Amino acid sequence: MHITVSRNNILGAVQRCQNVVERRHTVPILSNILLRASDDDLTASATDLEVGIRARVDASVQEAGGTTVAARKLFDVLKELDADADVELKTEDGFLRIASGRSRFKLATMAPDDFPDVQEESGGVAVRLDGADLAAMIASTSFAMSTDETRKYLTGTLFELDGDGRLNLVATDGHRLALMRRNLGQPVETCQSIVPRKAVVEIRKLCEDEPGQVELRIGERQIGLNAGGCTLVSKLIDARFPNYADVIPVNNPELATASRAELDQILRRIMIVANEFTHDVRLLLRPGEMVVSAHNTDQEQAEESLELDYAGPETEIGFNARYIRDVLGVMKGDAVRIHFRDGLSPVLLDESEDAAAQFVIMPMRI
Amino acid sequence: MTSRRVILHVDMDAFFASVEERDRPELAGRPVIVGGRAEARGVVAAASYAARRFGVHSAMPMRTALRLCPEAVVMPPRLPRYREVSARIRAVFSRYTPLVEPLSLDEAYLDITESLGLFGGAEAIGRRIKADIRAETGLTASVGIGPNKLAAKIASDLDKPDGFVVAPDDLTAFLDALPVSRLPGVGRAAQAKLDRLGIRRVRELRLAPASRLEAAFGARAATRLAALARGEDNRPVTSDREAKSISHERTFAKDVEDAGILRASLLAAVEEVGFRLRRLGRTASGVELKLRYDDFRTITRHRKLAAPTDATDALWGAARQLLDASWSGRPVRLIGMGVDRLGERVSQPELFAAPSPRPRVDAAADAVRERFGAGVLRRAAALQKRDQR
C-alpha cells in the first residue's frame, strides 16, 4: 500500500475507529486499525467484535493494498502532524512508514488477513432521518440506560419502529425510563432491537458530526448506520425489552408545572445533605407551592420551597434527586410538567402536551 | 475536646465452655474444652476454669490440650447456640446505653458516659449488668470500668472470673504496678524483647527512654507502647448504628476448594449481615467480598448496587456475582462479605416488577432469629453437611 491523503481527513476517520477499539482486548489484532487503499480512497476500520466501524476518505492511491497498525499510536501520530499538510503512508517489510513535512515515522504492522471483517447483515428495515434528530433522540434518552450487567437487557437502548410510522427510543434502568418518539412521515415495518450502550454512544457521535441525513438499518441481529462516509454496525442485545408502554402513566390525575431551572437549582442545593448514595429527597406538593427537603443519617437537614402551578391535594413524594435532575438536564424548555397520582405510583415528566419526550420515575419509599 | 468518658468492658468468663456447662449440668466442675477435633488440626476455642488449671488455654492446638489434660471433656463448638446467648447479653447492654461495640460474641465495650445519671453511676451500672446477665443466662461476666477502652479492658481482666474492677481516673498508679503482659497488644514476643531491656512492669516501660524502645521495636511500635504505658487511648466506642459498613467473615478449619461450600458460607455471611442491617434500620448501596487464600493473599472486591437495599436476596445476588467473578479457584482460608454506603431505610421500587414478597420473608426470618437465635432458620442453600464445616 502506498497512498497520500490529507491529514485532516485521515485523522477524522482514524479517530472514529479509535473510539471503537477496546484498550485491552484479548485478541491482539483488535487493538489495530485496518487500512485498505483501492482506486481513489482509503478505508479505515476497527471492531471489538461487538461494534464495528468503517470510515472512507479520499486518497491518492499510488499502490493499492492494506495493513493493520496500532490504533492508538496511529491516532497519536496523526494528531501531532501539521494540520494542513498531506500525509504519505507506505507499507514496507512489516512496517508502515508515515511521512509528512519533515516528520518520519515507522510503525509496526500486523497482516491484514487476520483482521475480522466488519460485516453488514443483509435485510432489515431501513429508515432515513436527519442525523441531528437522531443524535438529539439519543441525547434525551441514553442517560437512563442501566449499568447493571446482571440485567443485560437494560444496558442498552430500545430502537423501535412502531405501527404509526414512528421511531421510538427507550432507555430504562428499571427505576426510571426515558422515551422519545419521532415521526418518520412514512409507514414502516415494525421492529424492536436493543442496541448496546457502546453502539448507542458511537451512533450519537457519528450523527452529531453529520450535517445531513443518515440511514439507520435495523436487522434481526444487527443495527447499522450510514452517516456520510462512515458505516457502523453493532450486534444487538439478544433479549426481550420489558413492555415499556405498561409503565408509562397515561391517566395520572394531578399536574404541577414548575420552572425547570429553578427546580434544578433547588435540587442541587438540597442534595448536599441528602444521603450521598441514595440521594433521597422529599417533594411536598400543595396548592401553589412545592417544598423540597432532605435529611441524612447524621440528622443534617435542608429545605427549600418554590412557587409552582398546582391546585390539587397535598401530596408527598420521595425521589432519588439524581433521577429528576437527569431529566431536567436533557429538557430544553422553561417549564417542567409533573404528572402524578399519589406518593407511590410512577410519575410522568414532560415539557408540554405534544412533547416528543416522556420521562417516568418510580418514587422512592422514604 | 476531651470530655471525661466512662467506658465499660464486659468479658464473659470462658464463654463457650460456660454455655456448654450450663446447658449440661452434669459437666459442672469437670474440665471442659470447646474446640475442633485434634485430628482436624483443631484448636481450643474455650476452656473452662477447671481445664485452665491444667494449663489449657484458648488458641492452643487441641492435641497439646489433651496431652495436658487427658480427662477433659471435648465439645464441638455450637456457634448458633453461642450467638443466641450472645444476643441475650447484648440485649442486656442495650438497656443501659445505645453505644455498644461488640468485639466478639463474648466481649463488648460500652460507653456509659451519658447513662451515669440515669442508673446511679458507673459502679451501679456495672453491677446491674453483671446481675442481669447472671439472672438471664446463668453465666458470669467480668466487668472493667475506666476512663477509656484500654483501662476498661485491663480492668476486666484483672480479677477474672466473675471480676469487677474499677480503674481510677488517674491511670498512672493503676497501671504502673502491673506486669507489661497485662497491656493489650503486648504479646509473648514483645514481652521477651522488653524483658531483655530489663522492662517488666508498666512503670519501667513508661519511664524507658524513647530511643531505647525505638531501637528495639521501631518508631511506630515504640510510640504505641509508650502511649499504652501512659494509659492513653482515645478510640471511641463505635456501635453498628454509627458504622460506615457492616461485615461478617469466617475462617475455615480447613482450606476450602469447593465452590458449593464457598457459596454456602458466603450466603450464611450475607444472612448475618442482612439481619444486622435491617435491625439497624439501614439500607446499603454497596457490597464487598473478601477472600483470603491459603497463601494468606487477601483480595477484596466491591460492587455498587443499582438501588439501596436491605433485602438478603439482593445482597446475595451481588455477593454471589463477586464471588463468581473473582475467585481464582485457589483454596480459600477465609471468606467474608460486607455492606457499605449505608443510608436510611429507603427503598427504590422497580418500575416493571410486581411488589416482591421477599421483605416479608426477611421480616419473618428476622423475628425467628431475634427470638431463637441465629442458625435456627436459614436459607437451605446456606446449609452445609456437618463434615463440610
β-bridge pairing B164-166 and B141-146: parallel
Using DSSP's 3-state secondary structure scheme, residue B172 falls into helix
Contacts 24+ apart (CB under 8 A), B25-28: B27/B73
Which of A312-316, B241-245, B278-282 has the weakest average pLDDT? B241-245
User: What one-character-per-residue DSSP string does B275-320 give?
Assistant: HHHHHTTEEEEEEEEEEEETT--EEEEEEEEEEEE--HHHHHHHHH
Look at the pTM and tell me if it is higher than 0.90.
no
pLDDT value for B389: 43
pLDDT value for B77: 86
- Tens of pLDDT, residue by residue over B8-42, are 999 999 999 999 999 998 888 899 999 888 887 78
B36 touching chain A per CB within 8 A: no
In B43-161, alpha helices (H): 49-52, 62-68, 79-96, 116-119, 122-137, 149-158
pLDDT value for B79: 78
Specify whether B242 is catalytic: no
Q: Which one of B21, B107, B272, B288 is the catalytic residue?
A: B107
Ramachandran class of B211: left when φ > 0, alpha when ψ lies in -120 to 50, beta otherwise: alpha
Distance CA A33, CA A68 (A): 5
β-bridge pairing B282-293 and A41-47: unpaired
pLDDT interval class at B2 (50, 70, 90): very low
Residue B148 has pLDDT above 90, yes or no: yes
pLDDT value for B336: 94
Q: Are residues A12 and A106 in the same domain?
A: yes
Average pLDDT of chain B? 87
Q: Are residues B254 and B381 in the same domain?
A: yes
Q: How far from chain centre, in Å, is Cα A96?
A: 34
Q: Are residues B250 and B192 in the same domain?
A: no
Which residues touch B67 (CB under 8 Å, ≥6 apart)?
none
**What percentage of chain B exceeds 90 in pLDDT?**
50
For residues B196 and B180, the answer to whether their CB atoms sit within 8 Å is no
Query: Is A120 part of any domain?
Result: no
Residue ranges of A 210-269 with Cβ closer than 8 A to chain B: 242-243, 246-247
B342 touching chain A per CB within 8 A: yes
Inter-axis angle of helices B122-137 and B79-96, nearest 10: 150
Q: Do A362 and B346 touch (CB under 8 A)?
A: no
Q: How many domains does chain A have?
A: 3
ipTM confidence score: 0.82
All residue ranges of chain A with pLDDT < 50 are: none
What CATH code is carried by the domain that includes residue B59? Answer: 3.40.1170.60
Which of B229, B257, B277 lies at the terminal end of a domain, its last residue?
Answer: B229
Query: Is A276 part of any domain?
Result: yes
Using DSSP's 3-state secondary structure scheme, residue A171 falls into strand
B52 touching chain A per CB within 8 A: no
Q: Which domain holds residue A310?
A: 254-361
- Tens of pLDDT, residue by residue over B348-388, are 888 987 655 567 778 777 777 766 666 667 777 777 654 44
What is the distance in angstroms between the Cα of A286 and the nearest Cα belonging to chain B? 23
- Tens of pLDDT, residue by residue over B84-137, are 898 899 889 989 998 888 877 889 999 999 889 889 899 999 999 999 999 999
C-alpha cell at A181: 418518539
For residues B236 and B111, the answer to whether their CB atoms sit within 8 Å is yes
Which residues touch B145 (CB under 8 Å, ≥6 apart)?
B6, B7, B8, B9, B122, B123, B126, B152, B155, B165, B166, B167
Q: Do A150 and B321 touch (CB under 8 A)?
A: yes
Which of A188, A219, A246 lies at the terminal end of a domain, its last residue?
Answer: A246
Query: What value does the mean pLDDT take over residues B341-348?
Result: 84
Which of A114, A149, A167 lies at the terminal end of a domain, its last residue?
Answer: A114
Q: How far from chain centre, in Å, is Cα B112?
A: 20
CA-based R_g, chain A, Å: 25
Mutate to test the interface with B, among A278, A298, A345 (most CBs of B within 10 A): A278
For residues A33 and A112, the answer to whether their CB atoms sit within 8 Å is no
pLDDT value for B1: 38
**What percentage of chain B exceeds 70 in pLDDT?**
94
CA dihedral B346, B349, B355, B357 (to 10 degrees): -40
For residues B88 and B137, the answer to whether their CB atoms sit within 8 Å is yes
Distance CA A301, CA A293 (A): 7
A364 touching chain B per CB within 8 A: yes
pLDDT value for A50: 92
Q: Which domain holds residue B62?
A: 15-77
Nearest to B263, CA basis, from B379, B388, B382: B382
The single-letter DSSP state of residue A64 is -
Q: Are residues B217 and B352 in the same domain?
A: no
Residues of B in contact with A177 (CB under 8 A): 351
Q: Are residues A217 and A261 in the same domain?
A: no
What CATH code is carried by the domain that includes residue B184? Answer: 1.10.150.20
pLDDT interval class at B344 (50, 70, 90): confident
**Partners of A316 in the beta sheet?**
A284
Which of B50, B77, B104 lies at the terminal end of a domain, its last residue?
Answer: B77
What CATH code is carried by the domain that includes residue A259? Answer: 3.10.150.10
Q: Do B343 and A176 touch (CB under 8 A)?
A: no
Which residues touch B74 (CB under 8 Å, ≥6 apart)?
B33, B34, B35, B37, B62, B66
Residue bearing cell 448475618: B272
Distance CA A58, CA A39 (A): 10
Distance CA A55, CA A42 (A): 8
Q: Are residues B384 and B337 in the same domain?
A: yes
Which of A216, A246, A276 lies at the terminal end of a domain, its last residue?
Answer: A246
B307 touching chain A per CB within 8 A: yes
Q: What are phi and psi of B161, to 5 degrees?
A: -80, 170
